[in-house]
Amino acid sequence: MRVQCQRPLAHMQIHISLLDAVAPRTCELVSELAQTGCTTCRFYRNELPPEAGYGPPYGLLQGSLEGLQDTPPREDTVVAKKGHVCMIPGTKEFFIAANDHDEWGSAHTVWGMVQNMTPVTSLLHKPFHTVTHPTYGTVMRLMNTDVSFVIGRLPPGDHDQ
């Protein structure tokens, strides 16, 4: 799977190996999205890994797969580790873990693994502003400018699953 950022970051691609054995229905929905296209997919939250403890910041790059046909179900019980791509339960929102998240247990559906974290790390350094979640009080870092992306399959032989 390939996530291709849009202008002005069109040079940036994030390659993701799907974890079909862990989250088959979620991987199916993401594959369908890659075939039909997504005009509303975007990254909007960037949080570097915390220097100590669990955060904030929380060590993630969060985005939306708003174009998914359905909201993915909760699947498996894998704990999010650095490089995992995870769905936030009951939503079409996802994140890429920038560090291990043992503190969250298996609360999120892990459906992919980033092959090279360099583009993710670059996005984590984009300008941001802080917002406090109105319900939970969580301090979040939202990107000053969302980064739109398209999602697609990699050509055969490029490690796509």
**pLDDT string in tens for the chain (161-residue length):** 788 888 677 778 999 999 999 999 999 999 999 999 888 999 999 999 998 888 788 999 999 999 999 999 999 789 999 999 999 999 999 999 999 999 999 999 999 999 999 999 999 999 999 999 999 898 999 999 999 999 987 766 555 44
**Token pair 């915390």: residue:** 50
Q: Residue 85 in contact with residue 112, Cβ under 8 Å? A: yes
pLDDT of residue 160: 42
- pLDDT of 2: 82
Q: Label residue 118 exposed, middle or buried (CB < 10 Å: 0-12, 13-18, 19+).
A: exposed
Nearest to 73, CA basis, from 53, 49, 92: 92
Q: What is the pLDDT of residue 5?
A: 81
Backbone angles phi, psi at 109, to 5 degrees: -80, 115
The closest alpha carbon to 69, from 15, 109, 16, 31, belongs to 31
Amino acid occupying residue 119: P
Question: What letter would DSSP give residue 43?
Answer: E
